[in-house]
Amino acid sequence: MAIFVDADACPVKAEVERVATRHRLRVWIVSNGGIRPSANPLIETVIVPEGPDEADKWIADRAGPGDVVVTGDIPLAARCVEAGAQVLKHDGASLNAGNIGNIVATRDLLADLRAADPFRQGGGRGFTKADRSRFLDALELAVRRASR
């Protein structure tokens, strides 16, 4: 059992480290660079080559049943769910076989709408303390579930 973190723009790396240390789990922090390595011996920082989706490919090739993946990337989440891993978004939302199809379809629809209207502005809402708290609870639950 391990935790894989898609670390580029991940706001919950410290929370992952805290939970992993408590449960003595191996964590793979995967990015294209710019991430300061942790001194924690349970945390392994992986720098992948530059290029689109290299971190996603690295995680998807390794994550499987019993693992937990932390990502906001929907295509990566879909691949990891298919491989049997538990997937959490940064706000603690669980992505699983029951909901990933709808989430992928919604993502694709929104991408098409943005492409059709180049003046469409906006982005996601900001990351809050409540999101961080929900993530911590969800990660703790996922780790306990995976250890059974």
CB 32 within 8 A of CB 90: no
Instruction: Enter the pTM of the model.
Output: 0.88
Per-residue pLDDT of 89-102, as tens digits, reads 999 999 999 988 87
Helix (H) or strand (E) holding 103: helix 100-116
Q: Is the pLDDT of residue 122 over 80?
A: no
Domains of the chain: 2-121+134-147 (3.40.50)
Q: Is 117 helix (H, G, I), strand (E, B) or coil?
A: coil
In this prediction, residue 124 carries a pLDDT of 66
At 120, the pLDDT band (50, 70, 90 cuts) reads low
Show the 3-state SS of 22-81.
HHCCEEEEEECCCCCCCCCCCEEEEECCCCCCHHHHHHHHHCCCCCEEECCCHHHHHHHH
Per-residue pLDDT of 40-90, as tens digits, reads 999 999 999 988 889 999 999 999 999 999 999 999 999 999 999 999 999
